[in-house]
Amino acid sequence: MEVDGGEWTGNSRFLIVNYQDGGILDLMRFLLSANKENAHKFLHYSDGGTPVVAEELTRVHDDTTAGDHRWVIFVSVIVRKLIAIFGKPMEWFGYLLDFILNLLSLNGNFFGLFYNILHGKVVMPQRGSETFISAIGHLDGRIDLYRTETLTKEIGEPDFWQKDIQLGIGHRALMDLCMMASKLAYENAKVVQNVVNIHWKMHFVDFYNCWNDFEKEMSTQVFILCDKPKDANLIVISFRGTEPFDADDWITDFDYSWYEIPKLGKVHMGFLEALGLGSRAKVSTFHEQLFMNNQNFTKLENDATIAPSESSESSTMFSDSDAHSVSDQSPESDRPTDAGSKKFKLDMPERTAYYVVRSKLKRLLNEHKNAKFVVTGHSLGGALAILFPTILVLHEEMNVMERLLGIYTYGQPRIGNRQLGRFMEAHLEHPVPKYFRVVYSNDLVPRLPYDNKTFLFKHFGICQYYNSLYVEQNVDEEPNRNYFGLRFLIPLYLNAGWELIRSFTMGHIYGAEYEECWESVVLRVLGLFLPGISAHSPVDYVNSVRLGKERSTQMSSF
């Protein structure tokens, strides 16, 4: 892996844990002896402009190559290698599974499909249509909101935003809207629009497919809604999370690479790439996006009309002669031909989520003078949901941040170090808390990336933790913070067994809407082998919000 084309920029500090260059034997040699030759295949590090690896790392970064810490790097690399090996089979299996699940659901499941085959009436799934549901959607088919009327009434009150109240537990309807929006983000644009407009009786604004420089494709997805089309009070931005069969998404979650932002702290490099804020292949691009704030884009974004949805062409209309600098990929033919040109078309095959969403959000806030906005996401989407306002603060978009109502994340991985957390807490804790990180039981993803003195990844904000009985408690850190603790091993598997048994009784105890489908039960069975995966399902996060009850005393680990 060549970093930055062999050039190292300014005073940038970063660590890239690379899994692609070295082989298994190289990795084993690195584990046994972190000499320069072995480490160079997996570690790329710059301490203020000077590239260093191996032994030098022990002096500049908390003994990274010490034996016990090499295990962390070893596990990260080996897991990502394995995921990459099975990447294509995972993708093919995902396509096949999506097709089968939709084929069954559109034809009335197994018996209905058999009947339709006999009578020549089989309904074939059409990917991208309003009836084509993702695997996540099949795991949890609920689409209606919880206490919708209560939420609509409250956010419509003139003094709602001025009330000195703590969001979260007291606003379970808002938590539910955010969780359902996080789950809905896994669907295609037509499904999202249909659910928002028809089932939620709200206003679908837009759906965006954006460039992810780590995955080298348009794989960062986000949609925006308002509570009503005119004079809206609430704007919701929902980022899509980790796709179950997308190897690159899982590789990002298991990545330990970071880029240090002066005054903010170390930030997960893969999540920055997912927002379109740089590329590890040319590290200087992080500096350009984060510190220069893409000035040419900023000049024109107040007048820009960002391309709407995946059904539209990947193009953008701008009213500024410098707009072509937004994308280095734009051809000369699409640039203005004279200085007096006011409007022109710009192809944006690499449009980025941060700038696209920021531009649209600014226009919505200008249009809806009384509105405040919420950012949300599940899994990887949760990481992007907290990182988005973090970059807004970095870029001193304080007029936008003043309109922030809250950030709700579900099963979110860590995005940076303690310094980053302290910086953002200063902006999100006063006058009332605005950031709520919801974690269910033994979910693996919130325990990633690894939290130790080498990598320094730390959670921050209020953790609303739910145990497997859906009992809620606000804690500083979820139990078993790195997941691999031996003393938690037996409880992990006991919990998985209990969750499987419970799946057969949920409908009887809580009502038909809580009855689990066969797809969810299959995932519970898989959870007997790797409990943290099944606990990441949106099913338990929706249940936690709707069934959760507070406990003031210390919770058990069960």
Active-site residue, 379 included: yes
Of residues 437, 438, 495, the one with CA closest to residue 466: 438
Q: Which of 213, 443, 451, 540 is catalytic?
A: 443
Quick check: helix, strand or coil at residue 391?
Answer: helix
Q: Which of 379, 503, 520, 534 is catalytic?
A: 379
Q: How far apart are the first and last CA of the chain?
A: 44
From CA 450, how far away is CA 115, in angstroms rounded?
A: 51
Q: Which tokens belong to 371?
A: 């509105």
63 classed as catalytic? no
> Rg of the Cα trace of the chain?
24
DSSP letter at 195? I
Q: Residue 439 is which amino acid?
A: V
Two structure tokens written together for 322:
């410098």
**What is the distance, to the nearest Å, from the Cα of residue 438 to the centroid of all Cα atoms in its chain?**
13
347, 536, 537, 540: which is the annotated catalytic residue? Answer: 536
* Helical ranges in 156-241 per DSSP H: 172-184, 189-194
Are 238 and 182 spatial neighbours (Cβ–Cβ below 8 Å)? Answer: yes
| Orientation of helix 380-394 relative to helix 418-428, angle to 10° | 70
Yes or no: say if 535 and 440 are a contact pair by the CB < 8 Å rule.
yes
Instruction: Check if 503 is active-site.
Output: no
- Here the tokens at position 364 are 């919505």
3-state class (DSSP) for residue 221: strand
Helices (H) and strands (E) in the chain, counts: 23, 16
Active-site residue list: 379, 443, 536
